[in-house]
Amino acid sequence: MPRLKFVVHEHDARRAGLHYDLRLEMGGVLKDWAFRKQPPLEIGVKRYGVQQEDHDLMWLDFEGEIKEGYGAGTMRVWDRGEYEILESTGDKLVLRFYGSRLKGTYVLLRFKEGWLFFKTRA
Ligand SMILES: [Mn+2]
C-alpha cells in the first residue's frame, strides 16, 4: 500500500479543553479523531475517541494559534510522518505508522458512539 501522511496535533482548545487530534490523509482529505489523552505508545493501552469532521490537507503542516471558532486555542505537532493502511473496513482500520512517536501497527475500531485506538504490534 502507498504511504500516506498523518499528523497528531496536541490541541489546547479554549472551549473543548486539551485533546489530541489524530489526522490521517485519506481520500484527499484529513480524517480526524479526537482523544482526551495522548495516543498510546505501548501495546495494551486503549484510547477512546470520537471522529471529527474531515479537514483540509493544509492542516498537515499547521502549528500555532487558532484565533476564532470552535477550535480556538493552540495546536502543536505531537507527531507527524507517514503511515499505510493495512486493512480497511467500515468499522476497523489497521494502520502501520512510521512516525517519530507512533511506530508500528495500530487499530482504529468503531466502538459505541466512537472509536478505540490501540497498538497491536511493534
Ligand atoms: Mn481539535
Which pLDDT does position 70 carry in this prediction?
77
| Cα radius of gyration rounded to whole Å, the chain | 14
Which pLDDT does position 19 carry in this prediction?
97
Q: What digits encode the pLDDT tens for the residues 35-60?
A: 999 999 999 999 999 999 999 999 99
Q: What digits encode the pLDDT tens for the residues 23-32?
A: 999 999 999 9
Q: How remote is the CA of residue 8 from the centroid of ligand 1, in Å? A: 10
The x, y and z cell numbers of residue 40, run together, are: 498510546
Q: How remote is the CA of residue 101 from the centroid of ligand 1, in Å? A: 19
pLDDT of 1 higher than 90:
no
Could you tell me which residues are beta bridge partners of residue 116?
A: 48, 109
pTM, whole model, 2 decimals? Answer: 0.95
Which pLDDT does position 36 carry in this prediction?
97
Distance, CA of 18 to CA of 1 (rounded, Å)? 33
Q: How remote is the CA of residue 17 from the centroid of ligand 1, in Å? A: 9
Q: How remote is the CA of residue 89 from the centroid of ligand 1, in Å? A: 25
> pLDDT-based confidence at 81, cuts 50/70/90?
very high
The x, y and z cell numbers of residue 50, run together, are: 470520537
Q: Mean pLDDT, the chain, as a whole number?
A: 96
Q: How remote is the CA of residue 105 from the centroid of ligand 1, in Å? A: 24
The x, y and z cell numbers of residue 51, run together, are: 471522529
Q: How remote is the CA of residue 120 from the centroid of ligand 1, in Å? A: 25
Q: How remote is the CA of residue 11 from the centroid of ligand 1, in Å? A: 5
Q: How remote is the CA of residue 16 from the centroid of ligand 1, in Å? A: 8
